[in-house]
Amino acid sequence: YEVEYHDSIDSTNRRGRELAGDGREDIVVLADEQTGGRGRLKREWSSPSGGIWLSLLLRPTMPTTHAPLVTMAAAVATAEAVASTGVEPEIKWPNDVLVDGKKVSGILTEMEGEADRISWLVVGIGINANVDIESLPEDRATSLRELCGDVDRREVVQTLLESMSELVADRDRILSAWRARSGTLGRRVSVETPNGEIVGEAVDVESPGALLVDTADGRERVTVGDCEHLR
């Protein structure tokens, strides 16, 4: 992928969308700092200098319903990049990367397209790399600096992008790679969905990214929500 680097930018996702409008593809927007980082569910994403803040603009040939698969590929690639620094990551459904139960990375995918065809997809990945945990808002957030000391961000980004391009080229591998890195499967979870809370054992993921949860009332198939690991 071609890389566009910024010392400081409002949001690499915002810039990725702009490049999509210019007709570009296969480009990575990378920044040392974001001044208006965006998170899932309209949240802010704090992005101090020293982190890894990047967005990947892709035009995959697939229906929009399959986009979650690309986001899951990004979570696997991120987990692999984090693992390359020597810490033990796990993926929390759908695409947070945790170490010791604390969030070290989050992913926000934005896209445009018709039902049967994605026009463009911007996968935004934030990794709390060489940043102090005091500069992060959540008490359940951590950083690579906190976990293992400062890392070579170039190497981490390279590992991430290599893994991502392999997975996107071989989509059949994505779910099995996700399962292998998942900390959610086999766990008791509570998922807050738009239709209420679902509590039970997470048993599997199903294409293109739904979580199957065995509850007291039977099996639920969850496609959106915030998941919490209970034990």
Joined together, the tokens standing for residue 209 give 């990214």
* Cβ–Cβ under 8 Å, residues 74 and 125: yes
Map residues 69-108 to x or -, x wherever contact with ligand BTN holds by CB under 6 A: ---------------------------x---------xxx
Dist. CA 83–CA 105, nearest whole Å: 12
- Indicate whether 181 belongs to the interface with ligand BTN (CB under 6 A): no
Choices 45-53, 83-91, 192-200, 221-229; region in contact with ligand BTN by CB under 6 A: 45-53
Give the nearest distance from C-beta 47 to ligand BTN in angstroms: 6
Joined together, the tokens standing for residue 71 give 């986001």
- Indicate whether 136 belongs to the interface with ligand BTN (CB under 6 A): no
* Cβ–Cβ under 8 Å, residues 65 and 131: no
Residue nearest to ligand BTN (CB): 106
Choices 10-18, 162-170, 193-201, 220-228; region in contact with ligand BTN by CB under 6 A: 10-18
Site size for ligand BTN (CB under 6 A):
21
Spatial CB neighbours of 106, under 8 Å, sequence gap ≥ 6: 39, 40, 45, 95, 96, 97, 125, 126
Q: Would you call 169 helix, strand, or coil by DSSP?
A: helix
- Indicate whether 225 belongs to the interface with ligand BTN (CB under 6 A): no
What is the rounded end-to-end Cα distance, in angstroms, of the chain? 39
Helix axes 67-83, 153-169, angle to 10 degrees: 140
* Cβ–Cβ under 8 Å, residues 199 and 226: no
Q: Which is nearer to ligand BTN, 89 or 124 (CB)?
A: 124
Joined together, the tokens standing for residue 77 give 């690639």
- Indicate whether 11 belongs to the interface with ligand BTN (CB under 6 A): yes
- Indicate whether 40 belongs to the interface with ligand BTN (CB under 6 A): yes
Residues in touch with ligand BTN (CB under 6 A): 11-13, 34, 37-40, 43, 45, 47, 53-55, 96, 106-108, 124-126
